[in-house]
Structure 1
Amino acid sequence: MLSTLRAAAYGTVVFGLSACGSIVDRGPEIGAPISSQDLIVVGRLAHQSAEPPDLDSGDLLGHGWFFADFIIRKIEVGDIPKGTVRVRYFGHTYLRDDVNFRFHLRPTGEGDYFVCRPLDSAGYDCD
């Protein structure tokens, strides 16, 4: 009985620790068509900042453009060296900087990238 409880506790700890390395998937389905200039990458956000949008002043939810460094850890689609790129996204608040994200990125033409919105979500529409 005691060994069964130890095994269950060990399994819970191992499962809990492995869940810490999970990825928040905000990218398209694997194999979904994307523009040839777009990227699908996994990484973390750092050094975030924000600015208000040029929208209706009656926006009660407080939308805004957010800027961050995105530290690329894995490249799924696209041609870019691993490293850090500047990204911008549209939303209500900062995204977490303590988890890995899977993002669909599109070049802005100004040297940084838009984070494309997931389906049925607010943000920059890359479709």
Structure 2
Amino acid sequence: MSLVEIARFQDVYEADLAAAFLASHGVEVDVTERFQTTVDPLMQRALGLRLMGRADQAEQARDLLARVRAGEFATDDAGDLPPGKPTTRAVGRGLALFMAATGGFASTSLPRRLRPVHWIGVALIGVVAAVSLMLALTGVLSPSY
């Protein structure tokens, strides 16, 4: 049984996905250069990963991969995640702003209780929170769902 190159990939995950797809359609393939490319990820681009398969199944495998690239097996849902709630994004942005302004992302080896607090950031967040609360109470700032 002689092996021939079916396809070449530069990403180990893409190669594994193609191998699993071909295996689900009865085509036996093997991903080569896996050890070298997982030990040193820069080698993925240099060496590439090859799908090697039996010579008698090579044409069928190449045809299946060409049909995948053409989008024949795509579904309508495309596996998209539903959009997040606006409040979740606002809370995340607020937390990131608070951490950045108060020194939460300071890269020092000191324990958190010994890190200096950026009081200007805390004051700025307080002013923004007070203005936002005032606008929300007066009805100027209303959620847009």
Relative to the length of structure 2, the TM-score reads 0.18
Instruction: Give the structure with the higher percent strand.
Output: 1
More relative contact order in 1 or in 2 (CA 8 Å, sep 6+)? 1
Instruction: Give the structure with the higher percent helix.
Output: 2
Relative to the length of structure 1, the TM-score reads 0.20
Of structures 1 and 2, the larger Rg is shown by 2
